[in-house]
Amino acid sequence: MMFVRKNKEKIGLGYGIAVSLSAIFFAYLFCSSLVSFLPGDYAQRIVPMMIATPVATSIFGIWFLLSKNNFELVIKTAAISVASFLLFAIGYLF
């Protein structure tokens, strides 16, 4: 647990690649969950989210990068996962 909570002093290539891939994955997850939740026809729901995903990727990437330690990073990814799951569930049920 110490490793997870230890403050980062530098970022390596591995960490950078992991953050980049996570940002892409969570941006797709979050934006596609929003698609299931939004009102309107398929075009109104899908196209805006497709435009927003690259921006979300960049914002998530910076947000993940600026984590003090790995624990904060885990909390952030968990928060997006829970939010996405809730949006999917609401979209599916209603």
Partner 1 sequence: MKLSKYNFRFLTRAHVVVGLFAVFLFYIATFFGSITMFAPYIKIWESPSRHFDISDKNNSGIDLDAVLKNVIAANNLPTKNIEITFPSYRDNALKVSVENQAVIYVNPNNGSILHTSDESYTVSSFLNELHTGANIPMVGMPLMGLASTAMIFLSIGGVMLFLSARRKAAEKKDRLWWHKYLGLWLLPYIVVFTFTGAFLGLMLSSSSPFALGATNFEESNMRKLVAPIIFKKKMEPKESNSTHDALSIADLKQKASIQYPNLHITTVNLYAYNKDNYEAMFSGYLGDNQSISGRNNRMSITLNGINGDVVKKVHIEDSHIIKRALSAFYFLHFLPDQGAEWRIAFFVFGIVMAICLIAGYLVWSDRKLRSDGIFHHILNKIAIAFFIGVLPATAVLFASNWILRFDMYDRDIWIKGAFYATWAFVLFYAFLEASILNAIRKYLLWFAVLMSSAVLMHAAKNGYFLSGVNIANMSDTVFFVDAGMLLSSLLAMLAYVFIGRFKYIKQYEQRSLEAW
Residue 78 CB, nearest distance to partner 1 (Å)? 20
Rule CB under 8 A: is residue 76 a binding residue for partner 1? Answer: no
Report the SS3 class of residue 39: coil
For residues 15-44, which are near partner 1 according to CB under 8 A?
16, 19-20, 24, 28-29, 31-36, 41-44
73 near partner 1, rule: CB under 8 A: no
DSSP per-residue string spanning 44-86: HHHHHHHHHHHHHHHHHHHHHHT-SBHHHHHHHHHHHHHHHHH
- Least CB distance to partner 1 at residue 35 (A): 4
Are residues 35 and 90 in contact, defined by beta-carbon separation less than 8 angstroms? no
Token reading at 83: 């939010």
Between 53 and 70, name the residue whose CB sits nearer to partner 1.
53
* Residue 88 in tokens: 């999917």
Give me the residues that bind partner 1 (CB under 8 A), please. 7-11, 13, 16, 19-20, 24, 28-29, 31-36, 41-51, 53-55, 57-59, 61-62, 65-66, 68, 88, 91-92
